[in-house]
Amino acid sequence: MSKDIPVINCETDTGWLTVDQARGRILKQVNPVNGYERVAIREGLHRILAHDVISPISVPPYENSAMDGYAVRAADLSNPGDTRLSVIGTAFAGIPFDRLVNQGEAVRIMTGAKLPTGADAVVMQEQVQRDGDNITLTRSHRTGENVRHIGEDIKAGAVVLAQGKIIGPAELGLLASLGVPEITVTRKLRVAFFSTGDELRAVGEPLDDGQIYDSNRYTLHGMLRELGVEMLDMGVIPDDRAAVEAAFLTAAGLADVFITSGGVSVGEADFVKETLEKLGQVNFWKISMKPGKPLAFGRVREAVFFGLPGNPVSVMATYYQFVLPALRKMLGQAQLTSLTFKVVCKTRLKKHPGRTDFQRGILSRDDHDQLVVDATGMQGSHILSGMSRANCFIILPAESGDIEAGSLVEVQPFSSL
């Protein structure tokens, strides 16, 4: 990784990176981690496939009935008027009818049952009149009607799940339907994180004058846990040169990625920048976004490093926009970015042109069952309660000013993050 990545001038603020530029630079500098493991499919939930899964069988593996009815020969039903057939047996799911269906014959069949040899269509039971061992049909039926064909869902030898796919509940069921007991997944990413500052106290400790509780480690813990990585919470590191350097060396030695909060703004009097310049290849960027202007990114030894701002909302905004896509790429995920779409904004939003604004919003449905969004109120980067009330970011482009009520705005649901 280059130590001095040249800064591109932006239209909004000279010498500042846009959100897309910063994200693009970061993604170019990170690569999927080496290593994978074999796990039972139930243990693969939320893991990332390291290799394609090739289907060992066709699904369905045999022609079967799509509904309860009667298996027949379509040729017997080609003439207009009523057709009378003799019922010679029953086919159940898991218990096939093992005789040949000849001309003038039919077999009672249940949904999912194997289609008997000789039959090529299924007539639903509501279209049949039965009298003892005979049935009468009042119209013609075509070959293949109500039949599930071999390989209609999946053909043997096909790629059923591609490398980079996240395994969810549907994928577990799909793998089970193919008889696949184990899958190969990428190894878990190891991520260390800590906060720096003499003013910070851990939850449960008493606060002295001028001190605050460290909330950033808890939000980072929650966001990282949702991603399913291995975490190393290194606590709060005091403003001491030796302690900061020791923490950076420990994190770089144990983790693939480590994240800090605070100490990346211009002019801050601490040892973070000094330590990074000594130990690593790190760039300090100004991002044309709000909240979250300052960002540090680079590498310390073999570990990727992210230095996030200190304000709690800024930590979450920069994590979701920059850190999360990078971690997804390092995990080998195929989809790196999150879902966004446009909805009507219920109220007027204040904004100054110049930076992309990630306002906290509440996505809901109006009286007409249409999706709409509203802001959570005050948008300061220190107001963490607004993030708790929100369920999405409202993304306002850098060039825009105030947004009038009724305008279309872009939203990014937290559920997609």
Span 330-355, pLDDT tens digits: 999 988 888 999 999 999 999 889 99
Residue at 142 is within a domain:
yes
Are residue 192 and residue 180 in the same domain, yes or no?
no
Residue at 13 is within a domain:
no
Q: Distance between CA atoms of 312 and 216, rounded to whole angstroms? A: 6
The CATH number covering residue 135 comes to 2.170.190.11
Least confident window among 7-11, 38-42, 139-143, 270-274: 7-11
Q: Which of 302, 331, 360 is the last residue of a domain?
A: 331
What pLDDT score does 5 carry? 37
String of DSSP letters for 233-287: EEEEEPS-HHHHHHHHHHHHHH-SEEEEES--STT--SSHHHHHHHHEEEEEEEB
Cβ 355 vs Cβ 288: under 8 Å? yes
pLDDT class of 265 with cuts at 50, 70, 90: low
The CATH number covering residue 411 comes to 2.40.340.10
Q: Which of 331, 359, 385 is the last residue of a domain?
A: 331
Are residue 171 and residue 296 in the same domain, yes or no?
no
Q: Which residue has the higher pLDDT, 117 or 374?
A: 117
Share of the chain above pLDDT 90, in %: 68
Residue 318 clears pLDDT 90, i.e. is over it = yes
Are residue 228 and residue 319 in the same domain, yes or no?
yes
Residue 293 clears pLDDT 70, i.e. is over it = yes
Q: Distance between CA atoms of 389 and 94, rounded to whole angstroms? A: 52
Cβ 93 vs Cβ 112: under 8 Å? yes
Q: Distance between CA atoms of 364 and 374, rounded to whole angstroms? A: 8
Q: Distance between CA atoms of 129 and 200, rounded to whole angstroms? A: 80
pLDDT tens digits for 251-261? 999 999 999 98
What pLDDT score does 292 carry? 86
Are residue 325 and residue 215 in the same domain, yes or no?
yes
Q: Which of 331, 358, 388 is the last residue of a domain?
A: 331
The CATH number covering residue 290 comes to 3.40.980.10
What pLDDT score does 4 carry? 39
Q: Distance between CA atoms of 243 and 38, rounded to whole angstroms? A: 39
pLDDT class of 2 with cuts at 50, 70, 90: very low
Residue 286, Ramachandran bin (φ over 0: left; ψ between -120 and 50: alpha; else beta) = beta
Burial of residue 380 (number of CB atoms within 10 Å: 0-12, 13-18, 19+): exposed
The arithmetic mean of pLDDT across residues 226-248, rounded, is 90
**Domain boundaries, position 224:** 19-35+187-331
Q: Distance between CA atoms of 405 and 398, rounded to whole angstroms? A: 19
Cβ 204 vs Cβ 218: under 8 Å? no
Nearest of 378, 243, 212 to residue 310 by alpha carbon: 212
Residue 282 clears pLDDT 70, i.e. is over it = yes
What pLDDT score does 388 carry? 77
Cβ 217 vs Cβ 192: under 8 Å? no
The arithmetic mean of pLDDT across residues 94-120, rounded, is 96
Are residue 165 and residue 103 in the same domain, yes or no?
no
CB neighbour list of residue 28: distance below 8 Å, 6 or more residues apart = none
Residue 6 clears pLDDT 70, i.e. is over it = no
Residue at 123 is within a domain:
yes
pLDDT tens digits for 202-231? 777 777 777 777 888 999 999 999 999 999
What pLDDT score does 10 carry? 35
R_g (Cα) of the chain, nearest Å: 31
* pTM for the model: 0.82
CB atoms within 10 A of CB 329: 20
